[in-house]
Structure 1
């Protein structure tokens, strides 16, 4: 199909137009600057009328509490579980010793294009660290793309890319990306060029088109995955997407994938990365369990600046008085309790917010009804505790032929504390995997993950991983290496029709942007926080949750008339080179015409 879509004459026309349009901006710099990290604020006694109740102690709620407490508000943070961190918290294997074996809901990536979250991390004290918990980040040096019956590809990070001198024309950008896809990712030349051109269409699209057109179609449709080779799909479809966001290309909006994909490309090129010391680079992980190296120190800091933390207290309802919240109710082992505050921030997941969203609240702010239409996906962690050290790669491994959408990382190489200090002392490594496709039959047992018992999930996942890394006369993983395993404790009822997952994540389905609410609602003292509200980051991740918490804190500052400075929001990087293209595209979009470089859809109206 690509040969028909991209005849040589059309490609020459594309490049000619791109070169002409780019010539006028050749002098523009491509290097953006990021505002300096926030210095924090000293806590002070809250003035009258400045009490805040925050429900949900994941990254969003903890961020909002952090920012408001540092600005003198009296904050109480309520969490339904008995630990902080939400989906970011570590989990521990039961009955595995006095110091239980540590696991995660999934390995934690701190991408270089994150800026809001690193700013917060630098402001969380950690003994011996100059830059707080941020100094607990370790730079990854590589990523592996693994396949079945094929040579696995290990890519150094950052990997050498044949770029022209910056600034570059759009033609040079397309040529460079195409070259990378062809030489590094081994795509056929024609498909490498096609993929680069689709990216060129996205980066030259104006914001109106991104949110008015690309937001409303799937990545599958935008990237033409259904008419492409398996290799093209493997790298530009779900094989790549599952390593950035837990969703499927057939469901996720082209705008959401395009945005994070563009940010990732700039990060790979060393542009706009949060950096310095050990944490610089395209991708980073913590040097130990997330709760120990990040979440628990954060909780300690919040308490030190006056935040009251109430665990095992779940938000069950709001009581409204017109466009005003009069009170809230929380429930726990001690019964139900009324909560009264000047401002309320819901930082719980959208599916739980929907359960407390009553008709009176929707009547006060009809935009809140969209939360009921948002959808989730399962991204479940599974740890294999190993008796010996096995570094499959110095970074993440993507199992591109795995039907269950697997990724993993070998943890011990990055941790300061040896694994032998946990459990019975014989565990030396943990292969931390993620299962992100629960509806596709397994490669070996031919069952979907949702149809499997816990034992079947463990076995099938292990077999899929071994099929990718064992071969060509090399055996990296064997069954006798496994000491024990741990499935994400949020998964319940496995092997029964009642299987459920308590820690699912929000997915950015095509068209969902208009259903997502803002941090400030039509109810004057109710604010929302999380990666599921409208954020600049757009996709589900810790950075998006942190940004959502910052937006909620700013909404409280605005509503209260506070004289304290607003919380800084680090916007997504914008390549100055593309601005003239976007300006042209804005005119085309308003005239109901396609993007000028959109050869594939050149005859189709955008809306």
Structure 2
């Protein structure tokens, strides 16, 4: 088996394949494996015999609704434990506004029944009231979520998938607070998504997953690693796969995929030592969409016409800036969302989650804290430079990001003199002082993009896809999506080879079982041609759920008995 790409998708595919007895070779164009998830040393930062400071493309975030990736991590040994043991829960989410007002959100209770679902709605209303969203708009927003949750899959794909989250929530006619917090604010941190473009189906269902985690007893809406990503996850993963027999070849970029119109006949790999052609029984393409679409020959498109839609998929920038602090500034025990920042900043203070990492043994010995910031909006002007991020120089990006942080945290805890050094994701390259390029952009969800996304199992019998643009339950370009895609690709290989090995396990998104009768009713309505859908319950101004009619009242009574 030839796995083309050594990011999370490629490593996940190699993991599942080697466990099932296949011979696997992974080809990766970089020196290091792990893709955008990998961490890296800050060049020339270590002095006096110390290690270099750790850096990443952006902080790693493992929501509680992730199930595929944690399952794989639990099967990666690391000393006396496994990699999943390095996941630790963050307990707070900080919403920081430019006027200095902050709101902290923490966990509550589980939506396992309809009554428990009401807890989530009340929580949402309490949050909305705190940030100034009018009660009537909070009720409408809750009904929009309930409409989505009680819609059948057919309606979700044929109706809500083709509508933007902005239009679905009616944000254009709502208050500035609604637009800021419930439309833009709740989507801007989802892998560089935009409310006006993201599909209502994906945006709404992902938001529901996060809310379920947030109000679930013991919920883990926000988990992070207890050390630099490569040190506590990627490196142990590579070591485990090597021990299991996986062959790794770095500095090997896919330069061509040969197809005879029916099957893949070989792949050309180029590197510093020249080019070579590899032949395998099956090929797993774990390449990002912007790379794979450059390799689509006419023969490959004829053999799998669904790949012709890949150029329509949208990629944007979401990259990290890291500030290394002389004195640690924890902010909060979790992620911070800078809701008014022009560049859609989110951040986390890392040191508090890294108890076994002595930062004074790295760099020049002065660093005690790391503020890791993700920049998700690269084509909106900043208030200081007046320029979009991708038109700024490296120094201008640093100054604008720090300034936008200060706009939101103005209590003196963030002090310019406290910054020892800083680091910008090296995927951002500067051919000249006024223009930047991004070597590793990120696929973003847009309304209607589901129809342009291929399945992991293609019509080419020896060609499979294990990347985050594949159709998955996760439906976002995330580590979880890449892992799920890899599992689907491996299951396709098992079927193609008629293997007796057990298939990879797949999970759907969690949804309250109590709402199943409502979804079944909506399926009947959809098949009868009823295109108008609304929530089977009304939400009062104080967040109470009320049935909308006799049918809903009967189903509600039945659902109260479902646990």
Deviation at 1:559, TM superposition (A): 0.7
Are 1:563 and 2:500 matched, yes or no?
A: yes
Match of 1:121 in 2: 73
Could you say which residue in structure 2 is the equivalent of 1:403?
A: 342
After TM superposition, where is structure 1 displaced by more than 3 Å over at least 4 residues in a row? 169-175, 181-186, 494-498
Q: What is aligned with 1:227?
A: 173
- Structure 1 residues 171 and 365: CA distance shift in structure 2, 3 A: closer
Partner of 2:560: none
Give the deviation of 1:373 after TM superposition: 1.4
CA distance in 2 between partners of 1:332 and 1:178 (Å):
52
Structure 1 residues 173 and 201 mapped into 2: Cα distance closer, same or farther (>3 Å)?
farther
Query: 1:266: Cα distance to partner?
Result: 1.2
Query: Quick check: 1:594 aligned with 2:532?
Result: yes
Alpha carbons 1:110, 1:283 under 8 Å: kept: yes
Cα displacement (A) at 1:169: 5.4
For 1:50-449, what aligned pairs fall within 5 Å after superposition?
A: 52-97=1-46, 98-129=50-81, 132-156=82-106, 158=107, 160=108, 167-168=113-114, 172=118, 176-270=122-216, 281-415=220-354, 416-449=356-389
Q: Quick one: structure 1 residues 175 and 294, their matched pair in 2 at CA, closer, same or farther if it must change by over 3 Å?
A: closer
Residue 464 of structure 1 aligns with which residue? 404
> Contact between 1:77 and 1:308, CA under 8 Å: does it hold in 2?
yes
Aligned to 1:490: 427
Partner of residue 20, structure 1? none
Give TM-score, length-normalised by structure 2. 0.91
In structure 1, C-alpha distance between the alignment counterparts of 2:67 and 2:348, rounded to whole Å? 23
Whether contact under 8 Å (2:86, 2:226) holds in the other structure is yes
The alignment partner of 1:447 has SS state of coil
Deviation at 1:517, TM superposition (A): 0.4
Task: Give me the whole-angstrom Cα distance separating, in 1, the residues matched to 2:206 and 2:443.
Answer: 15
- What's the offset of the Cα at 1:589? 2.4
1:96–1:424 Cα contact (<8 Å) kept: yes
Partner of 2:516: 579
**Distance (Å, rounded) in 2 between the aligned partners of 1:155 and 1:177:** 10
Q: How big is each residue's C-alpha offset from its partner over 1:160-184, in whole Å with a ceiling of 9 and x where there is no partner? A: 36x8x96325994685255333445
RMSD over aligned Cα atoms: 2.0
Q: CA deviation at 1:235?
A: 1.5
List per-residue Cα deviations over 1:203-241 (Å, max 9, x = no partner): 111111111111111111111222222211222122221
Question: How far apart are 1:201 and its partner, in Å?
Answer: 1.3
Is this contact kept in 1: 2:65–2:209, CA < 8 A?
yes
Alpha-carbon spacing, 1:155–1:574, altered in 2? closer, same or farther (3 Å): closer
TM-superposed deviation, 1:459: 0.3
In the alignment, which residue of structure 2 is the partner of 1:481? Answer: 418
Q: Which runs of 5+ in 1 are unaligned?
A: 1-51, 274-279, 601-607
Distance 1:170 1:494, change over 3 A: farther
Q: Distance in 1 between matches of 2:537 and 2:66?
A: 33
Measured after TM superposition, the shift of residue 384 of structure 1 is 0.5
Contact 1:452–1:494, Cα closer than 8 Å, also in 2: no
Q: Secondary structure at the match of 1:493?
A: strand
- 1:153 CA drift (Å): 1.1
**Structure 1 counterpart of 2:447:** 510
Rate the CA distance shift 1:331–1:185 in 2: closer, same or farther, 3 A. Answer: same
Secondary structure, counterpart of 2:248 in structure 1: strand
Residues 186 and 207 in structure 2, CA contact (< 8 A), matched pair in contact too: no
Deviation at 1:79, TM superposition (A): 0.3
Mark the CA change 1:420 to 1:207 in structure 2 (over 3 Å): closer, same or farther: same
Separation in 2, partners of 1:171, 1:70: 39
Within-5 A mapping of 1:531-542: 531-542=468-479
Output the CA distance in 2 between the equivalents of 1:480 and 1:495: 29
- 580-589 or 447-456, which moves further after superposition? 580-589
Distance 1:553 1:306, change over 3 A: same
DSSP 3-state at the match of 1:216 = coil
Cα distance in 1, alignment partners of residues 431 and 520 from structure 2: 52
Q: Is the 8 A contact 2:315 2:443 kept in 1?
A: yes
Cα pair 2:152 2:523 within 8 Å, conserved: yes
8 Å contact from structure 1 (residues 116, 570) kept in 2 = yes
Q: 1:556 and 1:507 mapped to 2: Cα distance?
A: 28
Shift in CA distance, 334/216, structure 1 to aligned 2, threshold 3 Å:
same
Partner of 1:38: none
TM-score, length of structure 1 as denominator length: 0.85
Hey, what's the Cα distance between the residues in 1 that align with 2:128 and 2:436? 42
Q: How does 1:10-21 map to 2 (within 5 A)?
A: none
Partner of 2:556: none
